């Protein structure tokens, strides 16, 4: 799992209706950021070039569901050690060795917004960075 929904003290966010998944994708997408292929309208795993994201919470092989809440918070790993300067910044998604990560050093697609709080990440660590999806897919 690349990302986790971070919900301490919050209720489960609203979910989308079922979204058709590209049949060429045989991997389970739960816990991954997804996007909609503009050519087919089908859900696919997001890449570094994706400009809108959704977080997959269910995958039955044919359809998926994503979180439909712009205020939802996600916990993921970063590609570089977290620094205080990363708080409240817009950053990208990156794929490293087939794993989706938060690209703290890039601001091209700006699909994530790092939280502004001290809990946004541990200084010097690459794990458990807290973000919101900055550019949510239309669901």
Which pLDDT tens digit goes with each residue over 61-87? 999 999 988 899 999 999 999 999 999
Q: How many Å apart are CA 93 and CA 110, to the nearest integer?
A: 8
Task: Name the DSSP class of 80.
Answer: S
Which pLDDT tens digit goes with each residue over 28-65? 999 999 999 999 999 999 999 999 999 999 999 999 99
**pTM attached to this predicted model:** 0.93
Contact 100, 77 (CB under 8 A): no
pLDDT for residue 1 is more than 90: no
At 9 the pLDDT is: 76
Which pLDDT tens digit goes with each residue over 97-126? 999 999 999 889 999 999 999 999 999 999
At 139 the pLDDT is: 78
Element at 4 (helix H, strand E): strand 3-6
Q: How many Å apart are CA 85 and CA 45, to the nearest integer?
A: 29
At 14 the pLDDT is: 87
Adjacent-strand bridge partners of 59: 64
Q: How many Å apart are CA 60 and CA 130, to the nearest integer?
A: 27
């Amino acid at each position: 799992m690349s990302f986790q929904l971070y919900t301490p003290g919050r209720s489960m966010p609203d979910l989308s209706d079922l979204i058709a998944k590209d049949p060429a994708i045989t991997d389970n997408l739960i816990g991954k950021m997804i996007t909609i292929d503009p050519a087919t309208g089908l859900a696919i795993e997001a890449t570094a070039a994706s400009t809108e994201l959704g977080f997959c919470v269910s995958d039955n092989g044919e359809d998926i569901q994503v979180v439909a809440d712009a205020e939802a918070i996600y916990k993921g790993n970063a590609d570089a050690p977290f620094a205080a300067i990363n708080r409240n910044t817009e950053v990208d998604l990156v794929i490293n060795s087939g794993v989706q990560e938060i690209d703290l050093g890039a601001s091209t697609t700006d699909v994530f917004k790092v939280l502004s709080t001290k809990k946004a990440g541990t200084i010097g660590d690459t794990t458990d960075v807290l973000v919101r999806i900055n550019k949510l897919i239309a669901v």
